[in-house]
Amino acid sequence: MIARAAAIVGAGAGAAWSLPALAPVVPALAQALGVPRRRDQGSGVALTFDDGPHPEGTPAVLDLLAAGGAKATFFLVGEQARAYPELAERIAAEGHEIAVHGDRHRVMLRLAPAMIAADLDRAQETIGELTGQRPRFHRPPLGIYSYPGLKIARRLGLEPLLWSRWGRDWSAKSSAASITEMVTADLTPGDVLLLHDADWYSDAGCWRNTVAALPSILERVNAAGLEFQTVSGA
């Protein structure tokens, strides 16, 4: 009886630990946890990029954003910012918003709370120092929070944010056309669009499809009468 009770308690604790991991695919759960998928302010949409910086993908994305007069939010990885500090600096210098994706790209469910805290603390320090911006927002690798990870991010002053539209651009099976169709389908003000300017943690070369899709994405957003805003609303 005692062993059975212990197993039930353990199962419940495990479920509580991992429950936030479902937030990206269960909007009601994201809402209950207070993890936004949208930014409902202003009249625009927020274009966001994860996993960079990248020596090829990031400059290509920045050039297209500059040509289109669009601002975006970049969720940087600390280890890549240290490897390519000049690109982290360029992102900020060109008026884009800086956010935290982590110091290393590791799924929170596999990390003890102390490891999560150390990772986020180092990421904040690295990214803030290199860009001159104090990051306000956080998105975990794969969008997966653990319950402790969510609490730790907030304790460190980071606001969790997921997304409401994505292009599945991390997959080599995606094309520029499919990325564009997915990420711009039924856009409304407040949508947060998820894309990637790097392939460090996904299919090799997938950033090329993102770059190929970006002009069409910019055109469709403009045609819908929507503005590009950073996550913070700038």
Distances (CA, A) of 90 to 55, 114, 203, 214: 12, 32, 25, 19
Nearest to 48 by CA among 143, 136, 163: 163
Candidates 101, 103, 196, 199; catalytic one = 196
The token pair at 145 is 């929070």
Stated as kind and residue range, the H or E segment containing 95 is none
Candidates 50, 103, 169, 197; catalytic one = 50
Q: Which residue has the tokens 């929170």?
A: 108
Has 101 been annotated as catalytic?
no
For the chain, helix, strand, coil in percent to 5 are 50, 15, 35
* Calpha distance 166→171 (Å, rounded): 12
Q: 3-state DSSP call for residue 99?
A: strand
Nearest to 87 by CA among 68, 62, 64, 50: 62
Has 51 been annotated as catalytic?
no
Residues involved in catalysis: 50, 196
